[in-house]
């Protein structure tokens, strides 16, 4: 896979049993890139390892005053230099390609899982953790995948050097062959502690990221209650904990680096001392001593790759563990594989008994706002994985959970009570997958966005007053809550799904605007199935059918005015009537009835 071929047609089904299994799965899925990087890495590092031979031959040629052998040694060094240059260049290309393609694969997997789970994702995993996984953790995972091939090349080079020195000069070669494995394995006892410290650092960094994300998202509210300093203080403490953890981790890695400098130095000293004695005794030539000395000196380079792979694994394993935890989340059921196409008809929830007839405007009233939000998500085909009853919602008799993701999204769209506006222009905001039957102008008009368009036109700097070209800031923070809510509603109306589920779509607007919005939605959605979760009389009065849900089941069905007079539980939710007020109203009604009865008796 080359960078130009991204994204992947199918990123695959990851092994999420653990962080280590996930890393190995990524490595197996990039064998082509790994072997390519291994080839160029071997060319680069074996070229470096061969330089001592050329230098030793050149030195011995000078000692022996042999011009022919000096020319031969010079040619060998030039050839090795070309191989080193080519190998280094191509290794860098292959390694960066492995890094980027691995990171892209993880990001695609995360994007696919996020799309499948929808709003359910943030109920199972903190939003800050998802952000941490999709940014910093992806880089750490890519680093390990990229370092694998370079480590393999380095390990192979060390073996070749040791074997070659044993053949070239057994007396010194055996010393090097014994010393190099000791150098490689010397840091292993320190790696578990370094890994634990790295895990602690990554955990604290993830918590700090979550805290920062939550603080930024709620900054407007924090300013309203004067809580900025409180949360900033919490973030300062969290960031200091991250700093202390990073220093502790860095100290351990510094110790490992020091050991990998000290031990090769000791080996080199021993080789030079013993080699000098052998040279003085006439058992080896000067060129052979230079060759062995240079080879030992250059083993420090591949040994650095051993340290790097240990660091990469230590830092990427907790990142991979978090990524695997997110990717392990699943829908309660998987698509059946049956081609349903785009189903239509009545929307029915067999668990609660909620029925939304096709082409009708249905309002659902719940006394518990949290239960309303969960039911809205359920109607959109997103029941919680921990739900006691996994029975799927039916659309025209077809279970939504058995539809593919594309079919499900085209059939039912859910807008929750706190919709998110992505940054970009208003035209980009409304440029969403749709049926094409509803234009942006009609959707904005139905959602009563006239004042929003005027505000955007006035805020326009270089767009000639065109509100459609005015840029909306991240999450629409430059707009009021009511303006964001109505723009989100317009976006939902533009999509024109078979079924549109709205959770409190007018909770942030005044009563006059609410009435106009309700009328606009009903007009634009004529002959289309619309389900609205609300408790506002202005909206409920326009509904063709009102369903009252209490304790997770339908307890009454009718129209607003009828239920208001006949159903006390409905009246309590819609009018916000307390128990004392209801008792007082009943007493007043009874007193009025007694008084009327007394008047009738007197007249008789």
* Domain-located, residue 89: yes
pLDDT band at 88 (very low <50, low <70, confident <90, very high): very high
Phi then psi for residue 192, to 5 deg, are: -60, -40
User: Do 305 and 447 sit in the same domain of this protein?
Assistant: no
CA distance 126 to 309: 30
pLDDT at position 383: 60
pLDDT of 463 strictly over 80? no
Residues across the chain: 604
* Domain-located, residue 306: yes
CA distance 425 to 427: 5
User: Do 284 and 364 sit in the same domain of this protein?
Assistant: no
How far from 62 is each of 74, 294, 400, CA to CA, in Å?
Answer: 12, 17, 83
Q: Give the 3-state secondary structure of residue 462.
A: coil
Residue 72: how many other CB atoms lie within 10 Å: 15
Q: DSSP characters for 233-249?
A: HHHHHHHHHHHHHHHHH
User: Do 416 and 300 sit in the same domain of this protein?
Assistant: no
Q: Which CB contacts under 8 angstroms, 24+ apart, belong to 56-64?
A: 56/287, 56/288, 56/289, 56/290, 56/291, 56/292, 56/294, 57/287, 57/291, 58/287, 59/286, 59/287, 59/290, 60/285, 60/286, 60/287, 60/288, 60/290, 61/287, 63/285, 63/286, 63/287
* Domain-located, residue 576: no
pLDDT at position 417: 81
User: Do 428 and 317 sit in the same domain of this protein?
Assistant: no
For 333-356, the pLDDT digits (tens) are 555 556 666 788 899 999 899 999
* Domain-located, residue 602: no
Q: Are 23 and 81 in contact (CB under 8 A)?
A: no
pLDDT of 83 strictly over 60? yes
pLDDT at position 78: 93
* Domain-located, residue 586: no
For 151-169, the pLDDT digits (tens) are 999 889 888 888 888 888 8
pLDDT at position 581: 56
User: Do 357 and 321 sit in the same domain of this protein?
Assistant: no
Looking at per-residue confidence, does 425 or 227 come out higher?
425
As to burial, measured by CB atoms within 10 angstroms (0-12 exposed, 13-18 middle, 19+ buried), residue 100 is middle
Q: What is the CATH number of the domain that holds 245?
A: 1.20.1560.10
User: Do 197 and 301 sit in the same domain of this protein?
Assistant: yes
CA distance 61 to 46: 23
pLDDT of 601 strictly over 90? no
- CB-hemisphere CA count at 13 Å for 362? 24
pLDDT band at 529 (very low <50, low <70, confident <90, very high): very high
Q: Give the global pTM.
A: 0.66
Phi then psi for residue 532, to 5 deg, are: -120, 125
User: Do 370 and 317 sit in the same domain of this protein?
Assistant: no
As to burial, measured by CB atoms within 10 angstroms (0-12 exposed, 13-18 middle, 19+ buried), residue 370 is exposed
Domain count, the chain: 2
User: Do 320 and 362 sit in the same domain of this protein?
Assistant: no
pLDDT at position 317: 84
* Domain-located, residue 443: yes
Task: Select from 327, 357, 388 the last residue of a domain.
Answer: 327
pLDDT at position 357: 94
Q: Give the 3-state secondary structure of residue 158.
A: helix
How far from 538 is each of 384, 516, 577, CA to CA, in Å?
Answer: 31, 9, 17
Q: What is the CATH number of the domain that holds 516?
A: 3.40.50.300
pLDDT band at 136 (very low <50, low <70, confident <90, very high): confident
Domain that holds residue 403: 347-566
User: Do 450 and 315 sit in the same domain of this protein?
Assistant: no
The average confidence (pLDDT) of the chain is: 82
* Domain-located, residue 581: no
* Domain-located, residue 334: no
User: Do 320 and 354 sit in the same domain of this protein?
Assistant: no
pLDDT of 25 strictly over 50? yes
How far from 99 is each of 94, 139, 140, 223, 430, CA to CA, in Å?
Answer: 9, 8, 9, 41, 35
């Amino acid at each position: 896979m080359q960078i130009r071929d991204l994204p992947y047609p199918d990123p695959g089904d990851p092994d999420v049993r653990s962080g280590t299994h996930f890393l190995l799965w990524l490595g197996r899925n990039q064998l082509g890139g790994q072997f390519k990087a291994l080839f160029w890495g071997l060319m680069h590092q074996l070229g470096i390892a061969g330089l001592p031979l050329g230098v030793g031959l050149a030195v011995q040629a000078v000692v022996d005053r042999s011009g022919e052998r000096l020319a031969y040694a010079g040619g060998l060094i030039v050839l090795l230099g070309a191989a080193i240059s080519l190998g280094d260049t191509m290794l860098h290309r292959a390694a960066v390609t492995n890094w980027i393609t691995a990171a892209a694969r993880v990001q695609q997997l995360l994007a696919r899982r996020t799309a499948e789970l929808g709003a359910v994702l943030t109920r199972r995993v903190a939003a800050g953790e998802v952000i941490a996984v999709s940014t910093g953790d992806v880089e750490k995972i890519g680093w390990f995948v990229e370092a694998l091939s370079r480590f393999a090349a380095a390990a192979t080079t060390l073996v070749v050097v040791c074997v070659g020195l044993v053949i070239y000069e057994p007396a010194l070669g055996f010393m090097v062959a014994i010393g190099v494995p000791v150098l490689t394995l010397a840091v292993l006892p320190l790696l578990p502690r370094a890994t634990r410290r790295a895990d602690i650092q990554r955990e604290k960094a993830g918590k700090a990221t979550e805290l920062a994300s939550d603080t930024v998202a709620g900054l407007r509210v924090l300013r309203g209650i004067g809580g900025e300093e409180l949360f900033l203080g919490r973030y300062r403490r969290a960031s200091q904990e991250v700093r202390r953890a990073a220093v502790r981790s860095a100290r351990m890695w510094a110790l490992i680096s020091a050991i990998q400098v000290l031990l090769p130095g000791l080996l080199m000293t021993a080789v030079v001392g013993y080699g000098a004695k052998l040279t003085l005794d006439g058992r080896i030539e000067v060129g052979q001593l230079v060759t062995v000395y240079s080879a030992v000196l250059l083993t420090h380079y591949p040994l650095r790759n051993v340290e790097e792979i240990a660091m990469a694994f230590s830092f990427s394993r907790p990142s991979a563990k978090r990524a695997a935890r997110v990717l392990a989340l699943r829908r309660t059921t998987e698509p059946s594989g049956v081609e349903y196409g785009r189903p239509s008809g009545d929307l029915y929830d067999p668990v609660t008994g909620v029925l939304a007839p096709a082409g009708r405007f249905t309002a659902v009233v719940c006394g518990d706002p949290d239960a309303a939000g969960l039911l809205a998500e359920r109607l959109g085909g997103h029941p919680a994985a921990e739900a006691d009853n996994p029975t799927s919602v039916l659309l025209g008799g077809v279970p939504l959970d058995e539809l593919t993701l594309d079919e499900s999204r085209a059939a039912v769209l859910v807008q929750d009570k706190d919709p998110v506006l992505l940054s970009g222009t208003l035209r980009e905001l409304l440029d969403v997958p749709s049926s094409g039957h509803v234009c942006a102008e009609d959707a904005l008009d139905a959602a009563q966005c006239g004042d929003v368009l005027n505000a955007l036109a006035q805020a326009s700097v270089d767009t000639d007053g065109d509100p459609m070209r005015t840029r909306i800031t991240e999450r629409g923070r430059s707009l009021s809550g009511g303006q964001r809510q109505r723009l989100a509603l317009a976006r939902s109306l533009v999509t024109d799904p078979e079924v549109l589920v709205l959770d409190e779509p007018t909770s942030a607007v005044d009563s006059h605007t609410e009435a106009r919005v309700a009328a606009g939605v009903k007009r634009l959605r004529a002959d289309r199935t619309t389900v609205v979760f609300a408790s506002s009389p202005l909206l409920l009065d326009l509904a063709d059918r009102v369903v009252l849900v209490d304790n997770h089941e339908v307890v009454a069905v009718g129209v607003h005015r009828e239920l208001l007079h006949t159903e006390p539980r409905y009246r309590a939710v819609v009018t916000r009537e307390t128990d004392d007020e209801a008792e007082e109203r009943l007493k007043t009604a009874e007193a009025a009835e007694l008084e009327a009865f007394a008047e009738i008796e007197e007249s008789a």
